Structure 1
Amino acid sequence: MKIGIIGGSGLYQIDGFKILEEKELNTPFGEPSDKYIITEYKDKTVIFLPRHGKGHKFPPHLINYRANIWGFRKLGVKYILSISAVGGINPKMKGGDFVIANQFIDFTKSRVSTFYEGIFSKEDDTDLNDKVKEYLNNKRVVHIDVSEPFCPVMKESLKNALSSLNLPFHQNGCYVATEGPRLESSAEIKALSILEADIVGMTLIPELVLARELAIHFASVHIVTNFAAGISENRLTSDEVIEMMKQRNEDIKNILKQFLDNIPSNFNCSCEEVLERAAI
């Protein structure tokens, strides 16, 4: 079982994880954010990628999301867990809480969010023989269903991991993705709260959508670092985000280990069927 982890730099430095290789990949969509750190944990291969690159060199709107997700496909990954910091919109989701996303609202503006571009599609460079290759190489236009965008089996494993560690968490959160890199205005956050968004961030989309286009099981867990604009009484700073992530660093690693220990070998979900009858 190969599981991809998208998060921050150094997340792979966990007791019990044996680093096997750091692999640099090229893709039809350009270069990923960094090398993939291939590790072994018990009976699983766990592959880490820092989405912003080591040293946080890529802002959210300039991350090569397609290359990042395609690289996981080339490495044979069928499951991806995304970890990131978010701002809290729902007053119940306060700083230090963990949130498992179950829905999203996309307010990004300039990001390419599909692999399937019809006559402009890139050729599949993998050895796989599946619908992804068929659709890309035949220049098909594809419309995937995202009614239930996250893998229910992975979400349940996350819930069990958080419960077993007695950490504060919310098992259903609507993530709104904004373009960045600026933070949101108070008026924007007020509008998003009317739309019943719970948390706000800048990276989940198009990560999630691209993974789903490749029929990869995907789930995400987020750390609320502070309340969003207009909800917080203070000026928002990056220092708050960095400090909260430092405070929760060991908790994140423990969640990851519990998640990997409890994830089943057989998945009873429809994630891998998403490309059936999706092409025109």
Structure 2
Amino acid sequence: MSAESLTAIIGGTALSQLPGMRVESRRVVRTPFGEPAGALLFGRIDGAPIVFLARHGYGHTLPPHKVNYRANLVALRDVGAARVFAVSSVAALIPSLLETRFSIPDQVIDYTWGRAHTFEEGVDGPIRQIDFNEPFDAALRQVLQRAVTGVGSTAHFGGTYGCVNGPRHATAAEVRKLIRDGNHMVGSTLMPEAALARELDLPYAALCVVTHMAAGSHAGPVASEALISGSRAEAVPVAQVVLAEACKLAQGQ
């Protein structure tokens, strides 16, 4: 990879403040698929160029099913992003996942509906069918694992992310189905994001913040919103450090 290749980060607004990041500019980008969730924030970490996009918009105002995933990915591609690190909160479906702060999935099952999930509209020639056997880039997953270990944190490496529509949490019966289907975690943002990145030939991997056990996956009480928000808030500073380290490591490949 070029020493000047651009790393993109998609995540919550709080993640735009990465340790050591020197902000250089802010740019509004428009695409043939409409406007992305917000302005792109450009900067550097130890010389490595970074671009950040808040997936849910300024102030976290866009629910998962209203995110313009196509515009987000095209905007990052058009400004020269060479790779994408995505951050997403998840509920654990297996107890061992809750024992770690993060998860780096290697598979996904898509339960979403009503989202614009492809660029292939059948109007510009033959439809391209992408290989999506391995939805997350193996090399970038290794980078994230090294970054987590390097900052002294823990991550569950591998596992299947069940992507539901949200924004509500799943019912206990839905969670039991997710477990029967072989999912290890449940969230609502990585699809169609991962597939669209693949259609654009953008290497893509996810750092998932584990916040709580999903209802119905265990016999304990259902996690409160306060507990979930607190777990997420505690993880954000560590996620910032992990992503800063991952951006530096990605430049060295």
TM-score, normalization by structure 2: 0.93
The residue type equivalent to 2:250 in the other structure is I
Match of 1:53 among 48, 53, 57: 57
Q: How does 1:114-133 map to 2 (within 5 A)?
A: 114-119=118-123
Q: Which runs of 5+ in 1 are unaligned?
A: 120-137, 267-280
Give TM-score, length-normalised by structure 1: 0.85
Partner of residue 239, structure 1 = 226
Question: Aligned residue for 1:180?
Answer: 166
Deviation at 1:241, TM superposition (A): 2.8
Instruction: For residue 265 of structure 1, report the CA deviation from its aligned partner.
Output: 4.4
Aligned to 2:115: 111
AA paired with 1:3? T
- One of 78, 81, 84 as aligned partner of 2:82: 78
Q: Distance in 1 between matches of 2:67 and 2:162?
A: 18
Preserved contact between residue 96 and residue 223 of structure 1 (Cα < 8 Å) = no
The answer as to whether partners of 2:19 and 2:240 remain within 8 angstroms in 1 is no
SS in 2 for 1:118: coil
Q: Deviations over 1:118-175 (max 9, x none)?
A: 12xxxxxxxxxxxxxxxxxx33311111111111111111111111222121110210
Instruction: Quote the offset at 1:244 in angstroms.
Output: 1.2
Aligned length: 248
Mind listing any 5+ residue stretches in structure 2 that lack a counterpart? Answer: none
Q: Tell me if 1:87 matches 2:91.
A: yes
Alpha-carbon distance between aligned partners in 2 of 1:47 and 1:227, rounded to the nearest angstrom: 32
RMSD: 1.4
CA contact (8 A) 1:116 1:139 kept: no
Give the CA deviation at 1:95: 6.3
Superimposed CA distance per residue, residues 96-133 of structure 1 (whole angstroms, 9 cap, x where no aligned partner) = 521001000000011111011112xxxxxxxxxxxxxx
1:96/1:225 contact within 8 Å kept: no
Q: Tell me by how many angstroms 1:13 deviates.
A: 1.5
* Equivalent position SS for 1:256: helix
Match of 1:202 among 178, 188, 196: 188
177-186 vs 233-242, greater mean Cα deviation: 233-242
Q: Cα gap change, 1:223/1:175 in structure 2, threshold over 3 Å: closer, same or farther? A: same
Distance (Å, rounded) in 2 between the aligned partners of 1:265 and 1:162? 16
Residue in 1 that maps onto 2:146: 160
Q: How does 1:17-28 map to 2 (within 5 A)?
A: 17-28=21-32
SS of the residue corresponding to residue 191 of structure 2 reads helix
Q: 2:235 aligns with which of 248, 261, 267?
A: 248
Encode CA deviations 1:166-225: one digit per residue, 9 max, x unaligned.
212111021000011111111111111111100000000011000010000000010110
Opposite residue 241 of structure 1, the aligned amino acid is I
Q: Is the 8 A contact 2:45 2:248 kept in 1?
A: no
Question: Could you tell me how far apart the structure 1 residues matched to 2:48 and 2:191 are?
Answer: 27
Distance 2:43 2:111 in 1: 35
User: 2:7 aligns to what SS in structure 1?
Assistant: strand
